[in-house]
Amino acid sequence: MTYLQFHLVFILPPILVLLIAIRGARAALGPRTVWVLPVIALIAMVYTTAWDNYLVYRGVWWYGADRVIGTIGWVPVEEYLFFILQPVLTGAWTYLVLMRRPLRIDPSPVRQVGGLLQQLGDRRLVGAAIYALATGAGLFALTVERGLYLGLILVWAAPVLAAQWPFIASGVASAPGRFAVAAGVPTLYLWVADRVAIGAGIWSISPRYTTGVHIAGLPMEEAVFFLVTNLLVVQGVLLFLQPSLEREAPAPADPPHTAHAGSIAVQRAPCRPSRPPFTPDRPPFTPDRPGVPNGSRNGRQRT
């Protein structure tokens, strides 16, 4: 199997099916859906080209000379095509997930001045901190020869994921299952496709620059690569579609006017006198008022 045949078998058919399935994306998710996927694919091309050329130059991975049409720099032409096709594949799948039930993003904390600083300890910065730790792990892996591929993946991807996260965290937290489906399904699919490609000799991964850990025959580094690249696409889609997914936080209702006695809230009610107040021309009631005999009711003498 050649690299081009790999695209024809594993990549282009699901893309065509998904593009048909998301024909109503504009109506469901807004007009930005028209240009979000092309923009993400362009960003992926620009951001990945130098990085991937360096991997082939260092011998981290290589391709079968008889499996590709040609190269630009160190990288096969079909690899550049993959830079475009993977974002379209994963992005279209994310559209489909969002069309069924969109995530709702609350933008208010990040719109406020210093909003992120006020979010210390919440999910916005906790998620970014996890990605920052992944960046640190990548830097450490670069100090070891067998960690070169893993380190280059994490240092290349994790800082971007950390920068995206604070702006989409509320939406992910509102529906983590849908986020997991959006990123997880294409990741699992590409793991299988990658395993087939390696087995077919389309490309090979250097044992010198990898840890030697395999997941169902797939090098761990390749599994991490497809996971983080799909996360980049899914988070990028959510970020670009944010205006269509925003949910303004409702204004808090005015609480009832209460007074607290210990732990019990007592509702204040207006005081209404049970009888008219005392005035000079209306003396208080007495049983011996003039004109009313003592011991009588309604002016009638008791017999």
What is the SS3 string spanning 215-271?
ECCEEHHHHHHHHHHHHHHHHHHHHHCHHHHECCCCCCCCCCCEEEECCEEEECCCC
One-letter amino acid for residue 298 of the chain: N
The pLDDT of residue 248 is: 38
Distance CA 178, CA 186 (A): 13
Query: Could you report the per-residue pLDDT of 128-179, keeping only the tens digit for each?
Result: 899 999 999 999 999 999 999 999 999 999 999 999 999 899 888 888 999 9
Model confidence at 113, in pLDDT bands (50, 70, 90)?
A: very low
The mean pLDDT of 262-288, rounded to a whole number, is 50
The pLDDT of residue 275 is: 54
The pLDDT of residue 101 is: 79
Query: Could you report the per-residue pLDDT of 182-226, keeping only the tens digit for each?
Result: 999 999 999 999 999 999 999 999 999 999 999 999 999 999 999
Q: What is the mean pLDDT of the chain?
A: 83
Dihedral angle computed from the Cα positions of residues 133, 228, 98 and 108, in that order, rounded to the nearest 10 degrees:
30
β-sheet bridge partners, residue 267: 258
Query: Could you report the per-residue pLDDT of 222-259, keeping only the tens digit for each?
Result: 999 999 999 999 999 999 998 767 653 344 444 444 44
The pLDDT of residue 303 is: 43
Distance CA 277, CA 82 (A): 89
CA neighbor of 70 nearest in space, from 2, 137, 143, 6:
2
CA neighbor of 90 nearest in space, from 37, 131, 136, 142:
37
CB of 251 within 8 A of CB of 110? no
Q: H or E element: which one contains 205?
A: strand 203-205
**CA–CA–CA angle 244, 250, 254 (5° rounding):** 170
Concatenated DSSP letters for 125-165? HHHHHHHHHHHHHHHHHTTSGGGHHHHHHHHHHHHHHHHHH
Model confidence at 114, in pLDDT bands (50, 70, 90)?
A: very low
Q: What is the pTM of this model?
A: 0.77
